[in-house]
Amino acid sequence: MIHILQCAARTLDLSAPVVMGVLNVTPDSFSDGGRFTERDAALRQVQKMLADGAAIIDVGGESTRPGAAVVSAQQELDRVIPVVEQISARFDTIISLDTSTPEVMRAGAAAGAGLINDVRALGRDGAVQAAKDVGLPVCLMHMQGRPSTMQSAPSYQHVVDEVLAFLVERIDACVDAGIAREALLIDPGFGFGKTDQHNLALLAQLENFAALGLPVLAGLSRKSMIGRLLDRPVEDRLIGSVALALMAIERGAKVLRVHDVKETMDAVRLWQAMQPFMERKE
Ligand code: 7PM
C-alpha cells in the first residue's frame, strides 16, 4: 500500500511509520493576554519535538479529555489560530489541527495547517463541507458518546466490528461529499468511550483497520488504560506508552500520536531497522 498525503504545501510519506507530537498549550499561552514565557515554552516544545523526529505537530484548542467542558467556536478560534500562525511562520512542519469545528478548519487551513484531526470524524454540521473546501487530509476518529460522558458506561456488542462499521460509514460520507479517499486517515479512538478491554481488543485487531487501505493513526500515549493496567500515574506512563506504540506499528499503524517524541522515535527506528529481515513486508 502506498500512502502519500498532500498536506497543503507539504508531502507526508507514510511508507514508514511517523510520529505526531502533541503540543501542550495552556488556554491563553498565545492570546494577547498570554504571558510571553508561556508562548515561548510552547514554541520551544515544538522545536524540541521536531528535533526529536516528529513529522507532524498536533495542535488542539478544545480539550477532549473525559468530563471536559464544551468550548465555543470563538474560544477555540482564539486559542488555536495564533498557535498555528506562529508554528507555520517559524517551522517547516506539518501542523495537524485537532478540531471538530467547521470555522476552525477554515481559519486553521488559512493560517497554515496541513491536516485536520477530528475526534468527531466530521460529524458536526458543516464539517464535511468545510474539510472538502479546505482540501486538507482528514483523520476520522471513532468516539462513542461525547467527551463529557463517554467513559461512564462504554458498551458494544462487538467493539471491533462496530468501530470498523462506523469508520466505513464516515469514509463513505466523505467520499460521497467529494473528498478523495486517498486524503483520509482512520483512528479507532483509544480511550474515547472504551473500557480497557475494548481498547485492548481494538489494539489486538488493529490489522483489520489497516486492511481498509487507509493509513491508521493510533493515539495511546499516556492514556488512562496504561494507568489502570500498570497502576501508574500519568507522569509514569512513558514505558507503557512506547510499548503500546510499538504494538500498534507492528499491527500496521502509520501515525503515532504521542507526547514523548524522542523515546517513541527510538522504538520506531528499531522497528524500521528490523523490517528488511521480516518475511512479510509492509
Ligand atoms: C482521554 C482521551 C484523555 C483522549 C486524553 C485524550 C486522540 C486524539 C486525543 C487520539 C486522535 C490526549 C487525548 N486523543 N486525536 N486526541 N486520536 N486522532 O491524550 O487517540 O491528549 S486527546
Domain ranges of the chain: 4-277
pLDDT above 70: percentage of residues in the chain: 93
Read off the pLDDT of each residue in 182-189 and give the average, rounded to a whole number.
98
Mean of per-residue pLDDT scores for the chain: 93
Read off the pLDDT of each residue in 40-61 and give the average, rounded to a whole number.
94
Q: Is the pLDDT of residue 208 over 90?
A: yes
Q: Is 223 a catalytic residue?
A: yes
User: For ligand 1, atom 17, which residue shows the shortest CA distance?
Assistant: 219
User: For ligand 1, atom 6, which residue shows the shortest CA distance?
Assistant: 65
Place of cell 467556536: 73
Max mean pLDDT among 34-43, 52-61, 197-206 falls in: 197-206
Q: Is the dihedral of CA 39, 95, 93, 248 positive or negative?
A: positive
How far, CA to CA in Å, does 211 sit from each of 90, 96, 172, 208, 253?
Answer: 37, 24, 16, 5, 11
Q: Count CB-CB contacts under 10 A for residue 10.
A: 15
Of the residues 194, 222, 237, 257, which is catalytic? Answer: 257
Q: Is the pLDDT of residue 31 over 70?
A: no
Alpha carbon of 222 to ligand 1 centroid (Å): 10
Residue 187 CB–ligand 1 contact under 6 Å: yes
Region for residue 139 given its phi and psi (left: phi exceeds 0; alpha: psi -120 to 50; beta: otherwise): beta
Q: Is the pLDDT of residue 23 over 80?
A: yes
Residues 163, 247: Cα–Cα separation, whole Å: 19
What integer pLDDT is reported at residue 146 of this predicted model? 86
User: For ligand 1, atom 4, which residue shows the shortest CA distance?
Assistant: 65
Residue 176 one-letter amino acid = D
* pLDDT-wise least confident of 22-31, 84-93, 102-111: 22-31
Cell reading at 148:
463529557
Counts for the chain of helices (H) and strands (E), in that order = 10, 10
Residues 191, 142: Cα–Cα separation, whole Å: 10
CATH of domain 4-277: 3.20.20.20
Alpha carbon of 6 to ligand 1 centroid (Å): 23
What integer pLDDT is reported at residue 188 of this predicted model? 98
What integer pLDDT is reported at residue 282 of this predicted model? 56
What integer pLDDT is reported at residue 2 of this predicted model? 80
Spatial contact of 127 and 151, defined as CB atoms under 8 Å apart: no
**pLDDT-derived band of residue 65, with 50, 70 and 90 as boundaries?**
low
Q: Is 262 a catalytic residue?
A: no
Sequence-ordered list of residues with C-beta below 8 angstroms from that of 270, at least 6 positions apart, any chain = none
Residue 237 CB–ligand 1 contact under 6 Å: no
Cell reading at 141:
476518529
Spatial contact of 217 and 253, defined as CB atoms under 8 Å apart: yes
Residues 92, 110: Cα–Cα separation, whole Å: 16
What integer pLDDT is reported at residue 162 of this predicted model? 98
> Of all atoms in ligand 1, which is nearest to the CA of residue 190?
20
Q: What is the pTM of this model?
A: 0.95
Cell reading at 59:
495542535
DSSP structure class, residue 68: P
Residue 98 CB–ligand 1 contact under 6 Å: yes
What integer pLDDT is reported at residue 194 of this predicted model? 97
Q: Is the pLDDT of residue 158 over 90?
A: yes
What integer pLDDT is reported at residue 32 of this predicted model? 64
Residues 124, 14: Cα–Cα separation, whole Å: 28
Read off the pLDDT of each residue in 182-196 and give the average, rounded to a whole number.
98
Q: Is the pLDDT of residue 73 over 60?
A: yes
Cell reading at 134:
479546505
User: For ligand 1, atom 1, which residue shows the shortest CA distance?
Assistant: 65
Q: Is the dihedral of CA 61, 56, 3, 189 positive or negative?
A: negative
Strand partners, 218: 256
Alpha carbon of 221 to ligand 1 centroid (Å): 8
Q: Is the dihedral of CA 94, 184, 78, 218 positive or negative?
A: negative
